[in-house]
Amino acid sequence: MIGLFWNIRGLGKIGRHPALVERIKNTRADVVGITETKKESFTPRYLKSLTGPVPFEWFVLPAKRSAGGNLVGCNKEKFSASVCSSLDFTISIMIQDKKSGFIWKLVVVYGSPYEEGKEAFIQELHSIMQSWNGPVLLGADFNLVRFATDEINGNINYKWADLFNDWIHKWALVELSAKNMKFTWTNNQVNPIMAKIDRIFVTND
């Protein structure tokens, strides 16, 4: 199985749609999780255009006032899927492999970028883990760091880092880290701020 997670920063912006189509095609992704779509809805025609002849089942967490928004889909030839939950920061789907019958939960995450929403976001992450005791894969943009080394200047909020790490440890999650990328986000300024806020976790089942 090949998975793709991407913070698209607005699917309505020029060039975003063709870039996503190309990325899905080139990676031959079976499962796709897109965050920060900034869209409240998608037409069936639009969703079909993302994968062309490859049939996908898509699920949407609408953006709120053109902020946030998640889109998750999987290859219908390989998997059957249904929505498990659609909350403030996450959308979860249950996926079953059509050949093996294996069932697991996929959670696509876009954490609060604002201080006032981070505690609620972490509470939502706990509720997701409490609701299912089988295999789980969580990925995308958590908007949280774990360690001082996750930001280029080492200046982090330890309150949120500690609560984030407590969640990871409580549910015995394993992080799948990209070996060729230390940071996953930048503000693209002359003196850039860079941080590792995009992550993938799996349960140790």
Domain residue spans of the chain: 3-203
Tens digits of per-residue pLDDT, 20-65? 999 999 999 999 999 999 999 999 999 999 999 999 999 999 998 7
Please state, in angstroms and rounded to a whole number, the distance separating the CA atoms of residues 7 and 198.
8
Judge whether residue 182 has pLDDT over 80. no
Farthest CA pair distance, the chain? 51
Mean pLDDT for 9-21 is: 94
Give the chain's radius of gyration (CA, Å).
17
Distance, C-alpha 170 to centroid of its chain: 20
CA 202/CA 162 separation, integer angstroms: 19
Handedness of CA 178, 179, 180, 181 (dihedral sign): positive
Give 93-144 as a DSSP string: EEEEETTT--EEEEEEEE--SSHHHHHHHHHHHHHHHHT--S-EEEEEE---
Does residue 69 carry a pLDDT above 80? yes
Residue type, 200: I
CA 30 → CA 2, 37, 59, 76, distances in Å?
5, 19, 14, 9
Indicate if the pLDDT at residue 16 is higher than 70: yes
Cα torsion 198, 124, 131, 201 to 10°: value is 10
- In the CATH scheme, what is the code of domain 3-203? 3.60.10.10
| Tokens at 178, concatenated | 């990209």
Q: What is residue 185's predicted lDDT score, i.e. its pLDDT? A: 58
> Percent of the chain, pLDDT > 70?
93
Residues 6+ apart with CB under 8 A from 75: 30, 31, 54, 55, 56
First to last CA, the chain: 17
CB atoms near residue 194 (< 10 Å): 16
Identify which has the larger pLDDT, 57 or 150.
57
The confidence score (pLDDT) of residue 187 equals 64
- For residue range 80-118, what is the model confidence (pLDDT) as tens digits? 999 999 999 999 999 999 999 999 999 999 999 999 999
Give just the sign of the alpha carbon dihedral 114, 118, 119, 123. Answer: positive
The label of the residue with tokens 């930048």 reads 186
Using the predicted structure, report yes or no on whether residue 163 has a pLDDT greater than 80. yes
